[in-house]
Chain A
């Protein structure tokens, strides 16, 4: 009989005080400053994306506000050769993996080239459909296992996705074949307008691993050190051939579902406010101030650095001309079938006529 008592980890409390001794690899200030910097960068990226949408220069965008610790924690402990298979709100993990902010702006700005990552070239593009990417991660992990590679696939999805059969099918096979994959639920409490309590009667989402024959655990998703530790352990476990794990990161979507949503329609502000007090970024700043003398000047310098980097990325995105209309045919097949070449000529001619007219 499996135990449904799900282990929960928080290391750094909301007030910046450690609740337990920090693991050695995270006890040095350099690592924590690095985690902090990436969270600030993710939030700066996010704010700029929302602003770009507001001024009509970016498409509908899914904000990660409040969830920075999940993505940065994951990205911090993954190896470059691992493969990330993300949902559509995991910009922080993507950025930490080396996807460029201008690439993400391109994608959310409506340009396929935004998923042609120059950095992590085997990472999957985001899955805009919910949970359908979990079987891909199982396939990637099976590829690693068949080739005998010490690599891990990391699949990230939201609380809503755990209600889908796709996710269960992927977890089931991963448990059965002991695949090197780590499933991560970013439980931000809301699947668009549906709260977590209306998804499932299961007490935790982590316990869904039990039926698939492996361990699930919960972690404070607003504690970047805890996320990095727990995900890091799961990666090591999977990498050494011991199979998958499911990690439920408890966090909160402080923003609307997307830039075209208005969460005020379905949730009360009184629910949101307490989560600001658990802000993943503030707690690390408090910790750094208390233990490493993190100064206002350092804070300002970091904000300036991230601001400049993101402004440059936004400029690079905005300065990228759209692809020609024939580009929709460019990567449809390895070799374009003859009857589609005629359709490509059609769109080129139609564009030319418009230009002439």
Chain B
């Protein structure tokens, strides 16, 4: 079984989807001949031709809006926004149109589109290239929000996102694009879009994260295990719809919940998880819910970003505070 990076996994999934289904189109800025700024679409235009894989003018509103028109006509557009910092001009299209086309026409028109974007910090990128604003999208009814954290999951989740009958915002942790390789079969198998994934098991604490910060969360869990603290580590994978059941089942065993995300704390998606656990699992908790997150500051430029992003030490400290509090 071949090993692949997360970036290669995205490319393989796109290649597979283009090969399986003539309705799939891949487009965006510099995704054609250039193969994308991270090379996620490398070779696809050459393999499938410029009618299936093509560059657009530099116009993000257009990219999202055109995807809606194509999707309503039965295509399966997979559009790339080059960096998450450029995604905000698509919000009107996503919120006012893509997410509600099915609802407002009672299913007469639908919008099976995927908007992909690399997100998150840690690669010393220029301004506007490092934010994690996934919670904005998770707030929008009618969308799905999917964030893989491993090559295998990136492959399976992206295939499922493309096959899904509704609009999906698919955020790729660019810090992990080339960080590690994982062996998996390029077998066209999708991963479920409504399920958290348990990446590590232990009964002492429940750690929940997604995307790039899974790396630090898993590292913290490994370090804690050396001290005899065994944690469940849950990869949310799909923020919307949220599989809260898997999280609550874990908290029922551990009695402790530490949520880790790179995004700013206030109204970050961790707040939603905390609220949902409090709704149905409050009496399982033996300690307050902890959040280890980016700060409520503007994402700093590259010199300070390592201070902004959660690291294994901060996560460990939160778990230890949790353990100490009953």
- Indicate the member of B69, B70, B75, B103 with the most A CB atoms within 10 Å: B69
Mark contacts of A99-136 with chain B using CB atoms, 8 A cut-off: 1 yes-contact digit, 0 otherwise: 00000000000001101110001101101010011111
- Chain B interface residues (CB < 8 Å from chain A): 25, 51, 56-57, 59, 61-62, 64-75, 77, 92-93, 96-97, 101-110, 141-142, 144, 164-166, 194, 241-244
Contact residues in A for B107 (Cβ distance below 8 Å): 116, 330-331
Contact residues in B for A117 (Cβ distance below 8 Å): 105, 108
> What's the Cα separation between A328 and B106 when bound, in Å?
10
Contact residues in A for B106 (Cβ distance below 8 Å): 112-113, 115-116, 330-331
Contact residues in B for A337 (Cβ distance below 8 Å): 194, 241
Partner pick for A136 among B69, B110, B141, B165, CB 8 A cutoff: B69
Indicate whether A334 reaches chain B with its CB closer than 8 angstroms. Answer: yes
> What's the Cα separation between A166 and B66 when bound, in Å?
11
Indicate whether A333 reaches chain B with its CB closer than 8 angstroms. Answer: yes
> What's the Cα separation between A124 and B141 when bound, in Å?
20
Please judge, given known A-B contacts A124-B109, A132-B96, A331-B103, whether A139 and B142 are in contact too, CB under 8 Å: no
Partner pick for A334 among B61, B72, B105, B165, CB 8 A cutoff: B165
Contact residues in B for A332 (Cβ distance below 8 Å): 102-103, 141-142
Q: In angstroms, how far is the closest chain B Cβ from the Cβ of A209?
A: 16
Indicate whether A138 reaches chain B with its CB closer than 8 angstroms. Answer: yes
Mark contacts of A336-357 with chain B using CB atoms, 8 A cut-off: 1 yes-contact digit, 0 otherwise: 0111100000000000000000
> What's the Cα separation between A335 and B243 when bound, in Å?
15
Please judge, given known A-B contacts A116-B106, A332-B102, A338-B194, whether A139 and B57 are in contact too, CB under 8 Å: no
> What's the Cα separation between A113 and B108 when bound, in Å?
10
A-B contact pairs, 24 of them (CB 8 A): A112-B103, A112-B105, A122-B72, A125-B101, A135-B65, A135-B66, A136-B72, A138-B62, A138-B66, A139-B65, A139-B67, A140-B73, A141-B69, A143-B75, A166-B62, A170-B66, A328-B103, A330-B106, A331-B105, A331-B106, A333-B165, A334-B165, A334-B166, A339-B244
Q: In angstroms, how far is the closest chain A Cβ from the Cβ of B17?
A: 16
Contact between B70 and A139, CB atoms less than 8 A apart: yes
Identify the 7 closest CB pairs spanning chains A and B, nearest first. A139-B69, A135-B65, A337-B241, A334-B165, A143-B73, A169-B62, A139-B66
Contact residues in A for B164 (Cβ distance below 8 Å): 334
Chain B residue nearest to A153 in the complex (CB): B69
Contact between A176 and B57, CB atoms less than 8 A apart: yes
Indicate whether A264 reaches chain B with its CB closer than 8 angstroms. Answer: no
Contact between B65 and A166, CB atoms less than 8 A apart: yes
> What's the Cα separation between A279 and B57 when bound, in Å?
42
Number of A positions contacting B (CB below 8 A): 46
Please judge, given known A-B contacts A115-B106, A125-B105, A338-B241, whether A173 and B194 are in contact too, CB under 8 Å: no
Contact between A132 and B166, CB atoms less than 8 A apart: no
Indicate whether A142 reaches chain B with its CB closer than 8 angstroms. Answer: yes
Contact between A172 and B57, CB atoms less than 8 A apart: yes
Apart from A138-B65, A172-B59, A331-B106: 11 A-B pairs, beta carbons within 8 A: A125-B105, A135-B68, A137-B69, A139-B70, A140-B73, A143-B70, A169-B61, A170-B62, A173-B62, A333-B142, A334-B166
Indicate whether A202 reaches chain B with its CB closer than 8 angstroms. Answer: no
Chain B residue nearest to A147 in the complex (CB): B73
- Indicate the member of A122, A143, A144 with the most B CB atoms within 10 Å: A143
Q: In angstroms, how far is the closest chain B Cβ from the Cβ of A160?
A: 15
Contact between A132 and B92, CB atoms less than 8 A apart: yes
> What's the Cα separation between A138 and B68 when bound, in Å?
10
Contact residues in B for A340 (Cβ distance below 8 Å): 241
Partner pick for A166 among B25, B56, B61, B194, CB 8 A cutoff: B61
Mark contacts of A63-86 with chain B using CB atoms, 8 A cut-off: 1 yes-contact digit, 0 otherwise: 000000000000000000001010
Contact between B65 and A136, CB atoms less than 8 A apart: yes
Chain B residue nearest to A165 in the complex (CB): B61
Contact residues in A for B73 (Cβ distance below 8 Å): 83, 122, 139-140, 143-144
Contact between B93 and A135, CB atoms less than 8 A apart: yes
Contact between A115 and B57, CB atoms less than 8 A apart: no
Q: In angstroms, how far is the closest chain B Cβ from the Cβ of A98?
A: 14
Indicate whether A146 reaches chain B with its CB closer than 8 angstroms. Answer: yes
Chain B residue nearest to A168 in the complex (CB): B59
Partner pick for A115 among B74, B104, B165, CB 8 A cutoff: B104
| Chain A 154-186 interface residues, beta-carbon cutoff 8 Å to B | 165-166, 169-170, 172-173, 176
Contact between B108 and A116, CB atoms less than 8 A apart: yes
Contact between A339 and B241, CB atoms less than 8 A apart: yes
> What's the Cα separation between A138 and B59 when bound, in Å?
13
> What's the Cα separation between A202 and B155 when bound, in Å?
50
